[in-house]
Amino acid sequence: MPLARIDLPVGKSADYRNAVGDVIYTVLVEVLNAPKDDRFQVISEHSSGGLVIDPTYLGIRRTEDAILIQVTLNEGRTVELKQAFYKAVADGLHERVGQRREDVVINLVEVKKENWSYGNGEAQYVP
């Protein structure tokens, strides 16, 4: 179960927010092999000062339109899969909503399968 937290500057349209969520979900399924229909996302907008993203860290020039994407997922993907994920998300957002690739910051948080409960107070992945 990936859980995606997507943080955007305030003022983006509903179509933009939906498209960003769609791109991330599609890439999770196609690249990181997340199960189909396993879509859990929190999309939040932040006013000026509520989303702090360094404009030049590591020599990458970011604008005020930069977004943060954090995905919590089960551990075990290779570095190569993660790199493919980062590229596919940045490329997909650029193609779909015109997001600058430089303005896409992604963080993956890996957890053990027993750290999830999908409801009913149960840990469905625990045998």
Choose, from 2, 9, 55, 127, the residue flagged as catalytic: 2
The verdict on whether 127 is a catalytic residue reads: no
Retrieve residue 13's tokens: 């349209």
Q: Is 85 left (phi over 0), alpha (psi -120 to 50) or beta?
A: alpha
Find, among 110, 101, 105, the residue nearest to 78 by Cα.
110
At 109, is the secondary structure helix, strand, or coil?
A: strand
Catalytic residues, which ones? 2
